């Protein structure tokens, strides 16, 4: 049978496509999962429909108050510490009122508010633009409201960083491991080329613990004999702490006009007239 | 027809090796970036897209510009574009190759790029960008190749190519609209949050791309026996002029909205780019160069005696191309991130390695362009005198 | 029949064969040792029943798929409890479950991976237990 070059190339091409394409089909047809095994959620896990956080800024007075909370998060999550601000990675950090609520500032606010650093973190928005733009669903919204990161899937396109109106996301521009002071062996690090941010301590929630920052701030408050400055709970549970606080104190959120519906609420002033 | 790219004069091979050398150096720097991470660039937590994405944005425009030749020739039977259409289609192929390469070098985890197809996410504009760019590349390769090989044989192209050609027209508009949508739908970035982004993108595409095409056609005429003719170049020149007028007008509209409303979110990025903000003004000289070049090129293009002079026209087109390259390939992307979401300023400037990688991608694009043009020119030189009939 | 450009062709063929056969030449003399993953870590010695999450045969062939499924369950679905075919429950965690017993990455995981020339990048992020330099 004589065959010319063109026919040969056509046959070779189609065979290659069938061969390469056939492999995943066969894989898919193979039953790789064991029949009797299955996956459950831990009984101890905290469950909720809409996790939220309330930060009462009047309870944060000294630098130490902030440092403890930030340190609690960054240490257990192996967040690296870069000298160069360009590469910086932060899950929770402090900044001024003017920077936290740009557009809200005016010349006449109380000095103590103007100079007080505010705690910032991912707002775990109800309507998150970062989730909308992610091309691989590496960042996605869980049923309990947490905007989650799957660092296995992230391709490092940084579209989510462009989309986030709150600057809550960081990118691993370098290998983070040399810059981690002390590794927490029970939690992974990240690797170069992926985006990371606060995840509302999803791994602690699955063990029945509240986020580390909230726990630390409540511990500090107890030690100092003060009222706690951070609350965490389920907004859909009318008896939760967060609902009680939000129902009695006036709260604001960052950039509400954008419609992202943040789940982190701030109580600015202290005292009865806040 | 590929063999036509493998025979050439000494000048041709010198050019090919020169481009390959730049690609090689860029590639070595890319390997360094792959190992050490994107920290070797000038990007930061605040400015998370820089030169690579800017160049990608600009080049999508150049790629889309082929449609400015396809519409008159295939839809309206403007026979004068017969010889020049292939140059536009091959320019589109080279441009889309560069676009895809720029995205690839910008990714933090490029080995995972197929995740976009394995986990399709229709609500993500980046997903659609991948689809439309790949589709456009495929369309132009097939259309260019098939029409050229039919010309070489002296016959009409097969009838199935017509629907593909017609498809490439809205597809060209779609690639740049989708790219504009990457920016125009982000709630936190007020510099980009404007309905006119897609219109601006298309206008600057239809000015910049054909301008480059004019320059390339004139170079081809000088270096080879392939002459696209004086009239097609003049017609393209008119397209460039009108598109540039629209582009500059649209930019003016943006300025008006920002500075008449006086809303800080709108004015601050413009202030950063054109006057500096809070003591930071690294991009100011660049943006004003772009503005001056735009005005100069417009003046030279609008006056018919100057536009029709084939000595002045390439100069006007070069000024226009550089102006748009600065505006779209740099100012637009960086300006969106400054000021940051906290109203602070973190400046951006590409590093040496980053620039080398970018130049490597440009050289790759020009390599593809040179090889394809060599084929097209060789075929045309062979078939000189034979009437082209599509 | 004359072989045109014979010199170039023969030279090219020799270079090509040399390149293709290089891996074989390079490894001549190196003993091809069967991988011998060691399961004598302190954690495993303390176990009453020396059983892994699933059987040895299953793990050998399917631990890659299992880990992929674990990854998706834990990260994407939020479910961290794996109940195996015998009904025993394990916390889904490479670092804290798998590596807790198999704390000798070099003598266990790497044995087969190096032999098969695969390079899973799990440990770029998941911290491998520190091992004594022997």
Q: How confident is the model over B13-33, as a mean pLDDT? A: 97
Reading phi first (left if > 0) and then psi (alpha if -120 to 50, else beta), residue A134 is in: beta
Give the model's confidence band at A15: pLDDT under 50 very low, under 70 low, under 90 confident, else very high: very high
Q: Give the pLDDT score at B54.
A: 97
Given a cut of 90, whether residue A120 has pLDDT beyond it is yes
Cis ω before B343 (30° cut-off from 0): no
Q: What distance in Å separates residue C59's CA from the closest CA in chain A?
A: 11
What percent of chain B is predicted at pLDDT more than 70?
A: 98
Which residues of chain B have a CB within 8 Å of the CB of A132? Answer: 123-124
DSSP string, B149-207: HHHHHTSPPPTTHHHHHHHHHHHHHHHHHHHHHHHHT-TT-TTT--TTHHHHHHHHHHH
What's the token pair of residue A164?
Answer: 């986030």
Single out the residue of B172, B101, B84, B45 nearest to residue B368, CA to CA: B101
What percent of chain A is predicted at pLDDT more than 70?
A: 95
How many Cα atoms sit within 13 Å of A20 on the Cβ side? 5
Mean pLDDT of chain C: 88
Contact (CB, 8 A) for B93 and B372: yes
Q: Give the pLDDT score at A73.
A: 96
Is residue B197 domain-resident?
yes
Q: How confident is the model over B287-300, as a mean pLDDT? A: 96
Single out the residue of B369, B368, B350, B371 nearest to residue B55, CA to CA: B350
Q: What is the CATH number of the domain that holds B102?
A: 1.20.1630.10
Single out the residue of B61, B59, B60, B79 nearest to residue B69, CA to CA: B79
Q: What is the dihedral of CA B171, B134, B236, B241, to 10 degrees?
A: 80
What's the token pair of residue B326?
Answer: 């600065």
Which residues of chain B have a CB within 8 Å of the CB of A260? Answer: 187
Contact (CB, 8 A) for B258 and B335: no
ipTM of the complex: 0.92
Give SS3 for A94.
strand
What's the token pair of residue C127?
Answer: 């911290």
> Which residue does chain C place closest to A194, by CA atoms?
C125
Q: How confident is the model over A244-250, as a mean pLDDT? A: 93
Interhelix angle for B125-153 vs B85-106, to 10°? 150
Selected residue with higher pLDDT from B215 and B265: B215
DSSP string, B5-31: GG---HHHHHHHHHHHHHHHHHHHHHH
Interhelix angle for B230-261 vs B313-326, to 10°? 40
Which residues of chain A have a CB within 8 Å of the CB of B187? Answer: 129, 163, 165, 258-260
What's the token pair of residue A64?
Answer: 């130490």
Task: Count contacts between A and B (CB, < 8 Å).
Answer: 144
Single out the residue of B132, B138, B218 nearest to residue B182, CA to CA: B132
Q: Give the pLDDT score at C46.
A: 87
* CA distance between the termini of chain A: 91
CB contact under 8 A, B37 and A258: no
What's the token pair of residue B121?
Answer: 């996410």
- Smallest Cβ–Cβ distance between A167 and the set B43, B107, B340 belongs to B340
Whole-number CA gyration radius for chain C: 23
Q: What distance in Å separates residue C104's CA from the closest CA in chain A?
A: 15
Q: How confident is the model over A231-239, as a mean pLDDT? A: 95
Is residue B390 domain-resident?
no
Which residues of chain A have a CB within 8 Å of the CB of B115? Answer: 135-136, 138, 153, 155
User: pTM for the complete prediction?
Assistant: 0.92
Rounded distance between C-alpha atoms, residue B239 and residue B246, angstroms = 11
Is residue B387 domain-resident?
no
Q: What distance in Å separates residue B344's CA from the closest CA in chain A?
A: 8
- CB distance from A117 to chain B under 8 Å? no
Mutation site for C-interface testing, chosen from A80, A137, A152, A184 by largest number of C Cβ within 10 Å: A152
Which residues of chain C have a CB within 8 Å of the CB of A42? Answer: 80-81, 91
Mean pLDDT of chain B: 94
Is residue C74 domain-resident?
yes
Q: Give the pLDDT score at A114.
A: 83
Task: Count contacts between A and C (CB, < 8 Å).
Answer: 73
Element (H, E) at A17: helix A5-29
Is residue B269 domain-resident?
yes
Buried b or exposed e, range B99-115, using 16+ CB within 10 angstroms: bbbbbebbbbbbebbeb
Contact (CB, 8 A) for B178 and B205: no
What residues are paired with A39 via a beta bridge?
A: C82
CATH number for the domain whose boundaries are A51-267: 3.30.70.20
- Smallest Cβ–Cβ distance between C78 and the set A32, A38, A142 belongs to A142
Mutation site for A-interface testing, chosen from C80, C121, C128 by largest number of A Cβ within 10 Å: C80
Rounded distance between C-alpha atoms, residue A24 and residue A157, angstroms = 26
What's the token pair of residue B134?
Answer: 């790949």
Element (H, E) at C20: helix C6-26
CB contact under 8 A, C69 and A33: yes
Q: Give the pLDDT score at A271.
A: 55
Is residue C132 domain-resident?
no
Interhelix angle for B197-223 vs B230-261, to 10°? 150
CB contact under 8 A, A87 and B39: yes
* Residue spans of chain C under pLDDT 50: none
What residues are paired with A196 via a beta bridge?
A: A170
Q: Give the pLDDT score at C31.
A: 64
Residues 10-49 of A with CB under 8 A from C: 32-42, 45
Single out the residue of B256, B250, B126, B269 nearest to residue B199, CA to CA: B250
With contact defined as 3+ CB pairs under 8 Å, the chains touching C are A
Mutation site for B-interface testing, chosen from A9, A86, A166 by largest number of B Cβ within 10 Å: A86
For residue range B305-328, list pLDDT tens digits in order: 999 998 999 999 999 999 999 999
Q: Give the pLDDT score at A274.
A: 41
Q: How confident is the model over A243-270, as a mean pLDDT? A: 92
Given a cut of 90, whether residue A24 has pLDDT beyond it is no
CB contact under 8 A, B115 and A138: yes
Residue B268 backbone phi and psi in degrees, to 5 = -60, -45
Q: Give the pLDDT score at A273.
A: 46
Please work out, in degrees rounded to the nearest 5, the angle formed at the alpha carbon of residue B128 by the alpha carbons of B200 and B136. 75
Rounded distance between C-alpha atoms, residue B342 and residue A95, angstroms = 9
Is residue C57 domain-resident?
yes
- CB distance from A152 to chain C under 8 Å? yes
Question: Domain containing C53: what range?
Answer: 32-124
Given a cut of 90, whether residue B210 has pLDDT beyond it is yes
Mutation site for B-interface testing, chosen from A118, A126, A157, A171 by largest number of B Cβ within 10 Å: A157
CB contact under 8 A, A99 and B123: no
Mutation site for A-interface testing, chosen from C66, C67, C78, C120 by largest number of A Cβ within 10 Å: C78
Q: Give the pLDDT score at A1.
A: 65
Q: Quickly tell me which residue has 């045969």 as its tokens.
A: C57
Contact (CB, 8 A) for A159 and B124: yes
Which residues of chain C have a CB within 8 Å of the CB of A37? Answer: 54, 82-85
Q: What distance in Å separates residue B54's CA from the closest CA in chain A?
A: 13
- Smallest Cβ–Cβ distance between B107 and the set A132, A156, A174 belongs to A156
Q: Which residues lie closer than 8 Å to C124 by C-beta, 6 or more apart?
A: A191
For residue range A3-12, list pLDDT tens digits in order: 888 899 999 9
Rounded distance between C-alpha atoms, residue B239 and residue B370, angstroms = 25
Mutation site for A-interface testing, chosen from C70, C73, C76, C94 by largest number of A Cβ within 10 Å: C76
Which one-letter DSSP state was computed for residue B338?
S
Rounded distance between C-alpha atoms, residue B333 and residue A148, angstroms = 27
Q: What distance in Å separates residue B153's CA from the closest CA in chain A?
A: 17
Residue A18 backbone phi and psi in degrees, to 5 = -65, -40
Q: How confident is the model over A107-132, as a mean pLDDT? A: 91
Q: How confident is the model over B44-53, as a mean pLDDT? A: 96
DSSP string, C47-105: -SS---SS-HHHHHHHHHHHHHHHHIIIIII---EEE-TTS-EEE--IIIIIHHH---T
What's the token pair of residue B40?
Answer: 């070797």
CB contact under 8 A, A150 and C75: yes
Structural domains in chain C (count): 1
Buried b or exposed e, range B61-78, using 16+ CB within 10 angstroms: bbbbbbbbbbbbbbeeee
Which residues of chain A have a CB within 8 Å of the CB of C85? Answer: 34-37
Contact (CB, 8 A) for B317 and B310: no
Question: Domain containing B301: what range?
Answer: 2-382
Which residues of chain A have a CB within 8 Å of the CB of C65? Answer: 32-33
DSSP string, A151-220: TTT-----HHHHH-TT---EE--S-SGGG-SS--TTS----TT-EE---TTHHHHTTT---HHHHHHHHH
With contact defined as 3+ CB pairs under 8 Å, the chains touching B are A
Structural domains in chain B (count): 1
Contact (CB, 8 A) for A269 and A113: yes
Q: How confident is the model over A78-104, as a mean pLDDT? A: 92
- CB distance from C92 to chain A under 8 Å? yes
Strands A230-234 and A38-40: unpaired
Q: Which residues lie closer than 8 Å to A143 by C-beta, 6 or more apart?
A: A49, C78
How crowded is residue B272: how many other Cβ atoms within 10 Å of its Cβ?
Answer: 26
CB contact under 8 A, A134 and B121: yes
Residues 134-173 of A with CB under 8 A from B: 134-138, 153-159, 161-167, 170-173
Is residue B113 domain-resident?
yes
Contact (CB, 8 A) for A171 and A161: yes
Given a cut of 60, whether residue A248 has pLDDT beyond it is yes
Q: Give the pLDDT score at B382.
A: 83
CB contact under 8 A, A162 and B337: yes
> Domain limits of chain A?
51-267
> Which residue does chain A place closest to C73, by CA atoms?
A39
* Length in residues, chain B: 390
Buried b or exposed e, range C75-101, using 16+ CB within 10 angstroms: bbebbbbbebeeeeebebbbbebbbbb
Reading phi first (left if > 0) and then psi (alpha if -120 to 50, else beta), residue C130 is in: beta
Q: How confident is the model over A74-95, as a mean pLDDT? A: 94
- Smallest Cβ–Cβ distance between C126 and the set A36, A41, A188 belongs to A188
Element (H, E) at A93: strand A92-95
Which residues of chain B have a CB within 8 Å of the CB of A163? Answer: 186-188
Single out the residue of B185, B133, C84 nearest to residue A259, CA to CA: B185
Rounded distance between C-alpha atoms, residue B157 and residue B160, angstroms = 8
């Amino acid at each position: 049978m004589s065959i010319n070059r063109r026919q040969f190339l056509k046959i070779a091409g189609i065979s290659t496509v069938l061969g390469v394409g056939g492999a995943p089909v066969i894989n898919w047809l193979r039953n790789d999962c064991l029949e009797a095994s299955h996956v459950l959620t831990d009984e101890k896990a905290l469950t909720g429909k809409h996790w939220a956080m309330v930060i009462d800024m009047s309870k944060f007075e000294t630098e130490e108050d902030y440092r403890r909370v930030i340190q609690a998060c960054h240490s257990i999550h192996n967040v690296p510490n870069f000298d160069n601000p360009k590469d910086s990675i932060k899950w929770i950090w402090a900044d001024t009122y003017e920077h936290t609520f740009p557009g809200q500032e005016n010349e006449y606010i109380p000095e103590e508010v103007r100079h007080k650093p505010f705690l910032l973190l991912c707002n775990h928005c109800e309507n998150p633009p970062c989730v909308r733009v992610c091309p691989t669903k590496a960042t996605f919204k869980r049923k309990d409201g947490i905007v989650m990161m799957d660092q296995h899937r992230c391709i490092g396109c940084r579209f989510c960083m462009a989309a986030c109106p709150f600057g809550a996301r960081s990118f691993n521009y370098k290998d983070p491991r040399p810059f981690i002071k002390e590794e927490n062996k029970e939690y992974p690090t990240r690797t170069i080329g992926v985006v990371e941010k606060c995840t509302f301590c999803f791994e602690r929630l699955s063990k029945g613990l509240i986020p580390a920052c909230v726990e630390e701030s409540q511990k500090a408050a107890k030690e100092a004999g003060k009222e706690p400055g951070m609350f965490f709970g389920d907004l859909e549970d009318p008896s939760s702490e967060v609902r009680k606080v939000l129902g009695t104190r006036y709260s604001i959120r960052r950039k509400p006009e954008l419609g992202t519906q943040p789940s982190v609420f701030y109580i600015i002033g202290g005292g009865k007239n806040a | 027809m590929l063999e036509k790219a493998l025979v050439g004069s000494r000048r041709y091979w010198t050019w090919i090796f020169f481009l390959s050398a730049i690609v090689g150096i860029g590639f070595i720097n890319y390997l360094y970036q792959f190992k050490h991470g994107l920290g070797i660039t000038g990007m930061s937590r605040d400015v998370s897209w820089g030169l690579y994405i800017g160049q990608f944005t600009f080049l999508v425009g150049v790629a889309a510009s082929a449609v400015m030749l396809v519409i008159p020739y295939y839809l309206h039977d403007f026979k004068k574009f017969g010889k020049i259409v292939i140059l536009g289609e091959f320019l589109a192929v080279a441009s889309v190759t560069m676009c895809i390469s720029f995205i690839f070098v910008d990714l933090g985890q490029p080995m995972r790029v197929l995740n976009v197809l394995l986990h399709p996410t229709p609500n993500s504009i980046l997903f659609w960008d991948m689809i439309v760019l790949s589709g456009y590349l495929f369309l132009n390769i097939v259309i260019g190749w098939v029409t050229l090989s039919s010309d070489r044989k002296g016959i009409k192209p097969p009838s199935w190519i017509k629907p593909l050609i017609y498809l490439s027209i809205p597809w060209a508009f779609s690639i740049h609209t989708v790219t504009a949508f990457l920016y125009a739908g982000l709630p936190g970035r007020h510099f980009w949050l404007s309905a006119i982004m897609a219109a601006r993108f298309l206008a600057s595409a239809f000015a910049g791309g054909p301008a480059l095409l004019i320059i390339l056609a004139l170079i081809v005429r000088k270096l080879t026996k392939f002459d696209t003719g004086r009239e097609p170049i003049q017609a393209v020149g008119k397209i460039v002029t009108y598109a540039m007028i629209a582009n500059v007008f649209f930019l003016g509209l943006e300025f008006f909205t920002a500075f008449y409303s006086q809303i800080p979110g709108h004015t601050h990025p413009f202030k950063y780019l054109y006057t500096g903000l809070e003591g930071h003004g690294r991009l100011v000289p660049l943006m004003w160069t772009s503005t001056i070049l735009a005005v100069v090129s417009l003046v030279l293009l609008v006056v018919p005696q100057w536009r029709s002079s084939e000595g002045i026209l390439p100069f006007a087109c070069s000024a226009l191309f550089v102006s748009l390259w600065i505006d779209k390939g740099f100012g637009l992307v960086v300006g969106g991130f400054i000021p940051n979401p906290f109203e602070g300023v973190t400046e951006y400037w590409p590093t040496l390695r980053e620039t080398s990688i970018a130049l490597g991608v440009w050289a790759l694009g020009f390599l593809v362009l040179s090889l394809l043009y060599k084929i097209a020119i060789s075929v045309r030189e062979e078939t000189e005198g034979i009437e082209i009939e599509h | 029949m004359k072989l045109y450009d014979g010199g170039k062709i023969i030279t090219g063929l020799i270079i090509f064969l040399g390149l293709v056969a290089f891996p074989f030449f390079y490894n001549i003399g190196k003993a091809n040792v069967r991988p011998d993953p060691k399961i004598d870590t302190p954690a495993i010695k303390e176990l009453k029943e020396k059983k892994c999450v699933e059987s040895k045969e299953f793990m050998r062939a399917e631990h890659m798929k299992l880990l992929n499924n674990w990854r998706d369950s834990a990260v994407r679905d939020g479910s961290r409890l794996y109940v195996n075919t015998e009904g025993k429950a394990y916390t889904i965690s490479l670092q804290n479950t798998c590596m807790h017993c198999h704390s000798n990455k070099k003598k266990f995981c790497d044995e087969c991976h190096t032999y098969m020339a695969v390079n899973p990048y799990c440990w770029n992020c998941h911290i491998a237990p520190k091992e004594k330099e022997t």
